[in-house]
Amino acid sequence: MSPTLADFGQDVWWLVLVKIVGVFALLVVMTLFAIVFERKVVARMQQRSGPNRVGPGGSLQSLADGLKLAFKEDIIPAMADKPVYFLAPVIATIPAFLAFSVIPLGPMVSIFGEQTPLQLIDAPIGVLVVLACSAMGVYGIVLGGWASGSTYPLLGSLRSAAQMVSYEIAMGLSIVAVFLYAGTMSTSEIVAAQAGDNRLDFFGLTFDGPSWYAVLLPVSFVVYVIAVVGETNRAPFDLPEAESELVGGFHTEYSSLKFALFFLAEYVNMVTVSALAATLFLGGWRAPWPISIWDGANSGWWPLLWFLLKVVAALFVFIWLRGTLPRLRYDQFMRFGWKVLVPTALVWIMAVATMRTVSREYDLDSGEVALYVGLPLAALVLGVLLVASRRSNADTRIAALHAAAGSTNPTEPEVLPPVRAPGARHRPAQRSGPARAEGGFPIPPMDLVVPPSPRLTGREPVATGAPVATGRRRPSPTPRKDDDA
Protein backbone atom coordinates (compact mmCIF):
# COMPACT_ATOMS: atom_id res chain seq x y z
CA MET A 1 0.00 0.00 0.00
CA SER A 2 1.31 3.45 -0.93
CA PRO A 3 1.71 5.80 2.05
CA THR A 4 -0.01 9.18 2.19
CA LEU A 5 0.87 12.35 4.08
CA ALA A 6 -1.55 11.30 6.86
CA ASP A 7 0.60 8.21 7.59
CA PHE A 8 3.60 10.31 8.67
CA GLY A 9 4.10 11.65 12.16
CA GLN A 10 2.29 8.72 13.79
CA ASP A 11 5.31 6.56 14.71
CA VAL A 12 6.42 5.88 18.28
CA TRP A 13 9.75 7.33 19.39
CA TRP A 14 11.74 4.10 19.21
CA LEU A 15 10.53 3.45 15.65
CA VAL A 16 11.67 6.92 14.61
CA LEU A 17 15.07 6.18 16.17
CA VAL A 18 15.27 2.87 14.25
CA LYS A 19 14.51 4.71 11.00
CA ILE A 20 17.16 7.36 11.68
CA VAL A 21 19.83 4.74 12.38
CA GLY A 22 18.71 2.76 9.32
CA VAL A 23 18.96 5.76 6.97
CA PHE A 24 22.39 6.69 8.38
CA ALA A 25 23.66 3.11 8.02
CA LEU A 26 22.27 2.89 4.48
CA LEU A 27 24.08 6.05 3.40
CA VAL A 28 27.38 4.93 4.94
CA VAL A 29 27.15 1.50 3.29
CA MET A 30 26.18 3.06 -0.04
CA THR A 31 29.19 5.39 0.23
CA LEU A 32 31.56 2.48 0.84
CA PHE A 33 29.96 0.61 -2.05
CA ALA A 34 30.08 3.63 -4.39
CA ILE A 35 33.84 4.09 -3.86
CA VAL A 36 34.66 0.44 -4.65
CA PHE A 37 32.10 0.41 -7.47
CA GLU A 38 33.65 3.51 -9.04
CA ARG A 39 37.19 2.14 -8.90
CA LYS A 40 36.08 -1.21 -10.31
CA VAL A 41 34.06 0.29 -13.17
CA VAL A 42 36.78 2.77 -14.16
CA ALA A 43 39.36 -0.03 -13.99
CA ARG A 44 37.18 -2.12 -16.29
CA MET A 45 36.91 0.78 -18.74
CA GLN A 46 40.70 1.20 -18.71
CA GLN A 47 41.39 -2.57 -19.00
CA ARG A 48 42.99 -3.02 -15.60
CA SER A 49 42.01 -4.96 -12.52
CA GLY A 50 41.40 -2.24 -9.94
CA PRO A 51 41.44 -2.93 -6.17
CA ASN A 52 41.80 -6.67 -5.54
CA ARG A 53 43.82 -7.05 -2.32
CA VAL A 54 41.72 -5.90 0.64
CA GLY A 55 38.77 -8.20 1.26
CA PRO A 56 37.12 -10.62 -1.19
CA GLY A 57 37.77 -9.19 -4.64
CA GLY A 58 38.87 -5.87 -3.15
CA SER A 59 35.40 -5.22 -1.66
CA LEU A 60 36.83 -3.77 1.58
CA GLN A 61 39.18 -1.31 -0.12
CA SER A 62 37.04 1.74 0.69
CA LEU A 63 36.90 0.70 4.35
CA ALA A 64 40.70 0.42 4.37
CA ASP A 65 40.97 3.88 2.79
CA GLY A 66 38.74 5.30 5.53
CA LEU A 67 40.88 3.75 8.25
CA LYS A 68 44.01 5.09 6.56
CA LEU A 69 42.58 8.62 6.58
CA ALA A 70 41.60 8.28 10.23
CA PHE A 71 45.18 7.42 11.27
CA LYS A 72 46.86 10.11 9.16
CA GLU A 73 48.40 13.11 10.87
CA ASP A 74 45.93 15.93 11.41
CA ILE A 75 47.74 19.06 10.19
CA ILE A 76 46.31 22.51 10.92
CA PRO A 77 47.76 25.46 8.97
CA ALA A 78 49.28 28.21 11.12
CA MET A 79 47.16 30.91 9.41
CA ALA A 80 43.89 28.99 9.66
CA ASP A 81 40.82 30.29 11.48
CA LYS A 82 40.58 27.25 13.73
CA PRO A 83 36.90 27.31 14.80
CA VAL A 84 35.67 27.75 11.22
CA TYR A 85 38.33 25.34 9.97
CA PHE A 86 36.89 22.63 12.25
CA LEU A 87 33.22 23.39 11.50
CA ALA A 88 33.45 23.61 7.69
CA PRO A 89 33.63 19.82 7.00
CA VAL A 90 30.77 19.25 9.46
CA ILE A 91 28.63 21.89 7.74
CA ALA A 92 29.30 20.23 4.39
CA THR A 93 28.45 16.72 5.65
CA ILE A 94 25.34 17.16 7.83
CA PRO A 95 23.03 18.59 5.08
CA ALA A 96 24.03 15.71 2.81
CA PHE A 97 22.61 13.25 5.37
CA LEU A 98 19.52 15.37 6.15
CA ALA A 99 18.48 15.55 2.48
CA PHE A 100 17.90 11.80 2.42
CA SER A 101 15.25 11.99 5.17
CA VAL A 102 12.42 12.74 2.70
CA ILE A 103 13.35 10.07 0.13
CA PRO A 104 10.73 7.26 -0.01
CA LEU A 105 12.39 3.83 0.13
CA GLY A 106 9.26 1.68 -0.07
CA PRO A 107 5.54 1.31 0.78
CA MET A 108 3.94 0.60 4.14
CA VAL A 109 5.85 -2.19 5.91
CA SER A 110 5.77 -3.90 9.29
CA ILE A 111 8.70 -3.20 11.64
CA PHE A 112 8.47 -5.15 14.91
CA GLY A 113 4.71 -5.38 14.47
CA GLU A 114 4.23 -1.65 13.74
CA GLN A 115 2.86 -0.56 10.35
CA THR A 116 4.92 2.37 9.09
CA PRO A 117 5.96 3.90 5.75
CA LEU A 118 9.47 2.98 4.64
CA GLN A 119 10.45 6.65 4.75
CA LEU A 120 11.70 8.80 7.59
CA ILE A 121 9.48 11.85 7.05
CA ASP A 122 7.52 13.58 4.31
CA ALA A 123 5.91 17.01 3.86
CA PRO A 124 3.82 18.80 1.22
CA ILE A 125 7.07 20.50 0.15
CA GLY A 126 9.32 17.43 0.51
CA VAL A 127 11.34 18.07 -2.65
CA LEU A 128 12.18 21.59 -1.49
CA VAL A 129 13.81 20.06 1.61
CA VAL A 130 16.29 18.27 -0.66
CA LEU A 131 17.01 21.48 -2.59
CA ALA A 132 17.49 23.44 0.65
CA CYS A 133 19.91 20.85 2.06
CA SER A 134 21.93 20.75 -1.14
CA ALA A 135 22.14 24.56 -1.06
CA MET A 136 23.46 24.46 2.51
CA GLY A 137 26.39 22.26 1.47
CA VAL A 138 28.04 25.15 -0.38
CA TYR A 139 28.53 26.99 2.92
CA GLY A 140 30.86 24.27 4.18
CA ILE A 141 32.92 24.43 1.00
CA VAL A 142 33.22 28.23 1.00
CA LEU A 143 34.04 28.37 4.71
CA GLY A 144 36.59 25.56 4.35
CA GLY A 145 38.43 27.41 1.59
CA TRP A 146 38.32 30.75 3.45
CA ALA A 147 39.32 29.35 6.85
CA SER A 148 42.41 27.59 5.46
CA GLY A 149 44.28 30.87 5.25
CA SER A 150 45.69 30.08 1.80
CA THR A 151 45.09 31.45 -1.68
CA TYR A 152 44.49 28.25 -3.62
CA PRO A 153 41.76 26.88 -1.31
CA LEU A 154 40.04 30.27 -1.36
CA LEU A 155 40.02 30.33 -5.18
CA GLY A 156 38.75 26.76 -5.27
CA SER A 157 35.94 27.53 -2.84
CA LEU A 158 34.85 30.59 -4.81
CA ARG A 159 34.78 28.61 -8.03
CA SER A 160 32.82 25.88 -6.30
CA ALA A 161 30.29 28.37 -4.93
CA ALA A 162 29.72 29.91 -8.37
CA GLN A 163 29.44 26.47 -9.94
CA MET A 164 27.03 25.00 -7.40
CA VAL A 165 24.77 28.07 -7.36
CA SER A 166 24.64 28.18 -11.16
CA TYR A 167 23.77 24.52 -11.65
CA GLU A 168 21.42 24.48 -8.66
CA ILE A 169 19.20 26.91 -10.56
CA ALA A 170 19.09 24.58 -13.57
CA MET A 171 18.37 21.61 -11.29
CA GLY A 172 15.49 23.43 -9.61
CA LEU A 173 13.98 24.47 -12.93
CA SER A 174 14.24 20.94 -14.32
CA ILE A 175 11.84 19.51 -11.71
CA VAL A 176 9.16 22.22 -12.06
CA ALA A 177 7.58 20.24 -14.90
CA VAL A 178 7.35 17.24 -12.55
CA PHE A 179 5.39 19.39 -10.10
CA LEU A 180 3.04 20.44 -12.90
CA TYR A 181 2.35 16.84 -13.91
CA ALA A 182 2.10 15.36 -10.40
CA GLY A 183 0.26 18.32 -8.86
CA THR A 184 2.30 18.05 -5.66
CA MET A 185 5.79 18.53 -4.22
CA SER A 186 5.54 15.62 -1.78
CA THR A 187 8.00 12.87 -2.65
CA SER A 188 5.66 10.02 -1.64
CA GLU A 189 2.80 11.47 -3.71
CA ILE A 190 5.08 11.98 -6.74
CA VAL A 191 5.92 8.26 -6.57
CA ALA A 192 2.19 7.45 -6.31
CA ALA A 193 1.50 9.66 -9.36
CA GLN A 194 3.81 7.42 -11.42
CA ALA A 195 1.93 4.25 -10.44
CA GLY A 196 0.06 2.23 -13.02
CA ASP A 197 -0.20 3.03 -16.71
CA ASN A 198 -0.66 6.40 -18.37
CA ARG A 199 -3.88 6.42 -20.42
CA LEU A 200 -3.25 8.16 -23.77
CA ASP A 201 -5.88 9.18 -26.35
CA PHE A 202 -4.75 9.77 -29.92
CA PHE A 203 -7.66 10.83 -32.14
CA GLY A 204 -10.04 8.27 -30.68
CA LEU A 205 -7.47 5.51 -30.16
CA THR A 206 -6.87 4.71 -26.48
CA PHE A 207 -3.91 2.77 -25.14
CA ASP A 208 -1.73 2.56 -22.04
CA GLY A 209 1.58 4.43 -22.17
CA PRO A 210 4.55 4.76 -19.80
CA SER A 211 4.02 6.54 -16.51
CA TRP A 212 7.62 7.38 -15.57
CA TYR A 213 8.37 11.08 -15.86
CA ALA A 214 11.72 10.26 -17.46
CA VAL A 215 9.67 9.21 -20.52
CA LEU A 216 6.88 11.79 -20.27
CA LEU A 217 9.29 14.68 -19.53
CA PRO A 218 12.54 13.75 -21.30
CA VAL A 219 13.90 17.31 -21.46
CA SER A 220 13.49 17.73 -17.69
CA PHE A 221 15.25 14.44 -17.11
CA VAL A 222 18.23 15.32 -19.34
CA VAL A 223 18.60 18.79 -17.79
CA TYR A 224 18.40 17.27 -14.29
CA VAL A 225 21.10 14.69 -15.05
CA ILE A 226 23.50 17.32 -16.41
CA ALA A 227 22.77 19.79 -13.60
CA VAL A 228 23.33 17.35 -10.74
CA VAL A 229 26.69 16.29 -12.20
CA GLY A 230 27.77 19.92 -12.07
CA GLU A 231 26.12 20.57 -8.71
CA THR A 232 27.95 17.66 -7.05
CA ASN A 233 31.37 18.69 -8.49
CA ARG A 234 31.80 15.42 -10.35
CA ALA A 235 33.83 14.88 -13.53
CA PRO A 236 33.79 16.28 -16.15
CA PHE A 237 32.62 19.22 -14.03
CA ASP A 238 35.06 18.75 -11.10
CA LEU A 239 36.55 22.19 -11.65
CA PRO A 240 36.83 23.28 -7.99
CA GLU A 241 39.32 20.42 -7.52
CA ALA A 242 41.22 20.91 -10.77
CA GLU A 243 44.68 19.65 -9.83
CA SER A 244 46.38 21.32 -12.78
CA GLU A 245 45.09 24.75 -11.72
CA LEU A 246 44.21 24.79 -8.03
CA VAL A 247 46.29 21.94 -6.51
CA GLY A 248 43.35 20.32 -4.72
CA GLY A 249 40.70 23.01 -4.58
CA PHE A 250 38.92 24.03 -1.40
CA HIS A 251 40.26 21.08 0.65
CA THR A 252 43.95 21.53 -0.17
CA GLU A 253 44.86 22.27 3.46
CA TYR A 254 42.74 19.49 4.98
CA SER A 255 43.96 16.06 6.04
CA SER A 256 42.94 13.09 8.16
CA LEU A 257 39.28 12.90 9.25
CA LYS A 258 38.45 16.46 8.14
CA PHE A 259 39.35 15.56 4.56
CA ALA A 260 37.41 12.31 4.98
CA LEU A 261 34.30 14.32 5.87
CA PHE A 262 34.53 16.31 2.63
CA PHE A 263 35.07 13.04 0.78
CA LEU A 264 32.06 11.50 2.54
CA ALA A 265 29.85 14.53 1.75
CA GLU A 266 30.63 14.24 -1.97
CA TYR A 267 29.62 10.60 -2.19
CA VAL A 268 26.56 11.02 0.05
CA ASN A 269 25.44 13.85 -2.25
CA MET A 270 25.89 11.50 -5.20
CA VAL A 271 23.66 8.91 -3.53
CA THR A 272 21.07 11.55 -2.58
CA VAL A 273 20.70 13.08 -6.05
CA SER A 274 20.61 9.57 -7.54
CA ALA A 275 17.81 8.65 -5.12
CA LEU A 276 15.98 11.87 -5.99
CA ALA A 277 16.31 11.05 -9.70
CA ALA A 278 14.80 7.62 -9.05
CA THR A 279 11.98 9.23 -7.05
CA LEU A 280 11.09 12.01 -9.48
CA PHE A 281 11.72 10.39 -12.86
CA LEU A 282 12.09 6.59 -12.54
CA GLY A 283 8.98 5.61 -10.58
CA GLY A 284 10.58 5.65 -7.13
CA TRP A 285 10.44 2.33 -5.32
CA ARG A 286 7.96 0.79 -7.78
CA ALA A 287 9.18 -2.18 -9.79
CA PRO A 288 9.99 -1.58 -13.46
CA TRP A 289 8.35 -3.53 -16.26
CA PRO A 290 8.27 -6.56 -16.66
CA ILE A 291 8.84 -7.16 -12.91
CA SER A 292 5.72 -5.08 -12.21
CA ILE A 293 3.59 -7.85 -13.75
CA TRP A 294 4.16 -9.86 -10.57
CA ASP A 295 1.44 -8.97 -8.05
CA GLY A 296 3.77 -8.93 -5.04
CA ALA A 297 6.49 -6.81 -6.67
CA ASN A 298 5.30 -3.55 -5.06
CA SER A 299 4.51 -4.85 -1.58
CA GLY A 300 6.56 -5.77 1.46
CA TRP A 301 10.32 -5.25 1.40
CA TRP A 302 10.82 -6.01 -2.30
CA PRO A 303 10.43 -2.34 -3.36
CA LEU A 304 13.56 -1.49 -1.36
CA LEU A 305 15.52 -3.74 -3.72
CA TRP A 306 14.10 -2.08 -6.87
CA PHE A 307 14.87 1.34 -5.42
CA LEU A 308 18.48 0.45 -4.63
CA LEU A 309 18.96 -0.99 -8.13
CA LYS A 310 17.79 2.30 -9.64
CA VAL A 311 20.18 4.23 -7.39
CA VAL A 312 23.07 1.98 -8.43
CA ALA A 313 22.16 2.54 -12.10
CA ALA A 314 22.28 6.31 -11.53
CA LEU A 315 25.66 5.98 -9.78
CA PHE A 316 26.93 4.06 -12.80
CA VAL A 317 26.07 7.07 -14.98
CA PHE A 318 28.21 9.30 -12.72
CA ILE A 319 31.12 6.87 -13.02
CA TRP A 320 30.60 6.39 -16.75
CA LEU A 321 30.88 10.14 -17.34
CA ARG A 322 34.05 10.33 -15.24
CA GLY A 323 35.75 7.56 -17.18
CA THR A 324 34.68 8.90 -20.59
CA LEU A 325 34.62 12.70 -20.84
CA PRO A 326 37.52 15.15 -20.44
CA ARG A 327 37.32 18.08 -18.05
CA LEU A 328 35.83 21.31 -19.41
CA ARG A 329 37.34 24.75 -19.15
CA TYR A 330 35.72 26.89 -16.48
CA ASP A 331 34.39 29.51 -18.91
CA GLN A 332 32.90 26.79 -21.14
CA PHE A 333 31.30 25.17 -18.13
CA MET A 334 29.68 28.35 -16.80
CA ARG A 335 28.57 29.43 -20.28
CA PHE A 336 26.91 26.05 -20.80
CA GLY A 337 25.01 26.34 -17.52
CA TRP A 338 23.72 29.88 -17.94
CA LYS A 339 23.25 30.04 -21.72
CA VAL A 340 22.07 26.50 -22.47
CA LEU A 341 20.64 24.68 -19.45
CA VAL A 342 18.73 27.54 -17.81
CA PRO A 343 17.09 28.85 -21.04
CA THR A 344 16.24 25.29 -22.10
CA ALA A 345 14.59 24.56 -18.75
CA LEU A 346 12.60 27.81 -18.89
CA VAL A 347 11.33 27.18 -22.42
CA TRP A 348 10.43 23.60 -21.49
CA ILE A 349 8.45 24.77 -18.46
CA MET A 350 6.48 27.17 -20.66
CA ALA A 351 5.80 24.42 -23.20
CA VAL A 352 4.62 21.93 -20.57
CA ALA A 353 2.43 24.52 -18.83
CA THR A 354 0.89 25.55 -22.16
CA MET A 355 0.12 21.97 -23.17
CA ARG A 356 -1.39 21.13 -19.77
CA THR A 357 -3.54 24.28 -19.76
CA VAL A 358 -4.79 23.79 -23.33
CA SER A 359 -5.60 20.15 -22.64
CA ARG A 360 -7.59 21.03 -19.51
CA GLU A 361 -9.42 24.11 -20.80
CA TYR A 362 -10.41 22.81 -24.24
CA ASP A 363 -10.80 19.11 -23.33
CA LEU A 364 -8.37 17.88 -25.97
CA ASP A 365 -6.79 14.44 -26.02
CA SER A 366 -3.05 13.80 -26.07
CA GLY A 367 -2.79 13.54 -29.86
CA GLU A 368 -4.61 16.81 -30.48
CA VAL A 369 -2.49 18.65 -27.92
CA ALA A 370 0.70 17.29 -29.49
CA LEU A 371 -0.53 18.27 -32.98
CA TYR A 372 -1.88 21.75 -32.27
CA VAL A 373 0.44 22.84 -29.46
CA GLY A 374 3.50 20.58 -29.24
CA LEU A 375 4.55 20.65 -32.89
CA PRO A 376 4.24 24.46 -33.32
CA LEU A 377 6.22 25.02 -30.11
CA ALA A 378 8.91 22.58 -31.23
CA ALA A 379 9.16 24.29 -34.63
CA LEU A 380 9.39 27.71 -32.97
CA VAL A 381 12.14 26.58 -30.58
CA LEU A 382 14.14 24.94 -33.38
CA GLY A 383 13.82 28.08 -35.51
CA VAL A 384 15.05 30.32 -32.71
CA LEU A 385 18.00 28.00 -32.02
CA LEU A 386 18.90 27.95 -35.72
CA VAL A 387 18.86 31.75 -36.02
CA ALA A 388 20.87 32.14 -32.82
CA SER A 389 23.43 29.61 -34.02
CA ARG A 390 23.89 31.33 -37.37
CA ARG A 391 24.27 34.72 -35.69
CA SER A 392 26.85 33.48 -33.21
CA ASN A 393 28.91 31.84 -35.99
CA ALA A 394 28.47 34.60 -38.58
CA ASP A 395 31.97 36.06 -38.27
CA THR A 396 33.64 32.65 -38.46
CA ARG A 397 31.55 31.62 -41.46
CA ILE A 398 32.26 34.83 -43.38
CA ALA A 399 36.00 34.57 -42.68
CA ALA A 400 36.02 30.98 -43.91
CA LEU A 401 34.22 31.97 -47.14
CA HIS A 402 36.69 34.79 -47.82
CA ALA A 403 39.66 32.51 -47.16
CA ALA A 404 38.42 29.81 -49.53
CA ALA A 405 37.06 32.07 -52.31
CA GLY A 406 38.92 31.61 -55.57
CA SER A 407 41.88 29.79 -54.07
CA THR A 408 42.83 26.15 -53.79
CA ASN A 409 45.82 26.88 -51.57
CA PRO A 410 45.55 27.72 -47.88
CA THR A 411 45.60 31.42 -47.14
CA GLU A 412 48.61 32.77 -45.29
CA PRO A 413 47.64 33.95 -41.80
CA GLU A 414 47.71 37.68 -41.25
CA VAL A 415 50.30 38.77 -38.68
CA LEU A 416 49.16 41.88 -36.85
CA PRO A 417 51.76 44.50 -35.93
CA PRO A 418 52.64 44.80 -32.26
CA VAL A 419 50.55 47.27 -30.31
CA ARG A 420 52.57 49.30 -27.84
CA ALA A 421 50.92 51.47 -25.27
CA PRO A 422 52.47 54.94 -24.90
CA GLY A 423 55.01 55.03 -22.13
CA ALA A 424 54.91 51.26 -21.57
CA ARG A 425 58.13 49.35 -21.08
CA HIS A 426 58.57 46.08 -22.97
CA ARG A 427 61.04 43.32 -22.47
CA PRO A 428 63.34 42.55 -25.40
CA ALA A 429 62.66 39.42 -27.36
CA GLN A 430 64.19 36.27 -25.89
CA ARG A 431 66.48 34.11 -27.92
CA SER A 432 64.00 31.22 -27.80
CA GLY A 433 61.16 33.07 -29.54
CA PRO A 434 59.29 36.37 -30.00
CA ALA A 435 57.57 38.01 -27.06
CA ARG A 436 53.82 38.47 -26.84
CA ALA A 437 54.06 42.16 -27.82
CA GLU A 438 55.86 41.16 -31.00
CA GLY A 439 53.19 38.83 -32.26
CA GLY A 440 54.23 35.57 -30.57
CA PHE A 441 53.49 33.64 -27.42
CA PRO A 442 55.57 34.19 -24.27
CA ILE A 443 58.15 31.41 -24.20
CA PRO A 444 60.56 31.15 -21.29
CA PRO A 445 64.25 30.82 -22.09
CA MET A 446 65.32 27.20 -22.36
CA ASP A 447 68.80 27.66 -20.84
CA LEU A 448 67.74 28.27 -17.26
CA VAL A 449 70.12 27.10 -14.54
CA VAL A 450 68.78 26.29 -11.10
CA PRO A 451 70.98 27.83 -8.39
CA PRO A 452 72.35 25.42 -5.80
CA SER A 453 70.57 25.04 -2.50
CA PRO A 454 72.22 26.71 0.53
CA ARG A 455 72.02 23.35 2.30
CA LEU A 456 74.49 21.93 -0.24
CA THR A 457 77.29 24.24 0.94
CA GLY A 458 80.51 22.28 1.17
CA ARG A 459 79.40 19.79 -1.44
CA GLU A 460 80.47 19.38 -5.02
CA PRO A 461 79.85 22.61 -6.99
CA VAL A 462 77.35 22.76 -9.81
CA ALA A 463 78.92 22.12 -13.16
CA THR A 464 78.34 24.59 -15.97
CA GLY A 465 75.10 23.73 -17.76
CA ALA A 466 74.05 21.14 -15.16
CA PRO A 467 70.56 21.63 -13.73
CA VAL A 468 71.40 20.76 -10.11
CA ALA A 469 74.32 19.60 -8.04
CA THR A 470 75.03 15.91 -7.66
CA GLY A 471 74.89 16.05 -3.87
CA ARG A 472 78.30 14.38 -3.34
CA ARG A 473 80.58 15.99 -0.83
CA ARG A 474 83.95 17.22 -1.99
CA PRO A 475 86.93 15.33 -0.58
CA SER A 476 88.46 17.24 2.27
CA PRO A 477 92.01 18.48 1.51
CA THR A 478 94.89 16.48 3.05
CA PRO A 479 96.61 18.55 5.74
CA ARG A 480 100.26 19.32 5.08
CA LYS A 481 103.02 18.87 7.63
CA ASP A 482 104.12 22.48 7.44
CA ASP A 483 100.56 23.50 8.41
CA ASP A 484 101.04 21.79 11.78
CA ALA A 485 104.21 23.69 12.33
pLDDT digits (tens, 9 = 90+) for 108-151: 888 888 888 989 988 888 899 998 888 888 888 889 888 988 88
Mean pLDDT across the stretch 70-91? 88
Above 60 in pLDDT, residue 468?
A: no
Q: What does the pLDDT read at residue 195? A: 83
Single-letter amino acid, residue 44: R
Confidence of residue 474 (pLDDT cuts 50, 70, 90): low
CA distance 351 to 389: 21
Q: What does the pLDDT read at residue 22? A: 92
Per the prediction, the chain carries an average pLDDT of: 80
Q: What does the pLDDT read at residue 437? A: 47
Those residues whose C-beta lies under 8 Å from the C-beta of residue 412, and which sit 6 or more positions away, are none
Nearest to 274 by CA among 232, 241, 239, 334: 232
Cα–chain-centroid distance for residue 287? 27
Question: C-alpha distances in angstroms, 323 versus 18, 39, 62, 237, 317?
Answer: 38, 10, 19, 12, 10
Give percent of the chain above pLDDT 90.
23
Q: What does the pLDDT read at residue 102? A: 92
Which of the 8 DSSP states describes residue 9?
Answer: T
Above 50 in pLDDT, residue 405?
A: yes
CA distance 67 to 38: 19
Single-letter amino acid, residue 110: S
Question: Model pTM?
Answer: 0.77
Per the model's pLDDT, the better-predicted residue between 228 and 289 turns out to be: 228
Confidence of residue 105 (pLDDT cuts 50, 70, 90): very high
Which of the 8 DSSP states describes residue 203?
Answer: T
Mean pLDDT across the stretch 195-203? 68
Mean pLDDT across the stretch 43-56? 89
* Cβ contact 195:2 at 8 Å: yes
Q: What does the pLDDT read at residue 485? A: 47
Those residues whose C-beta lies under 8 Å from the C-beta of residue 392, and which sit 6 or more positions away, are none
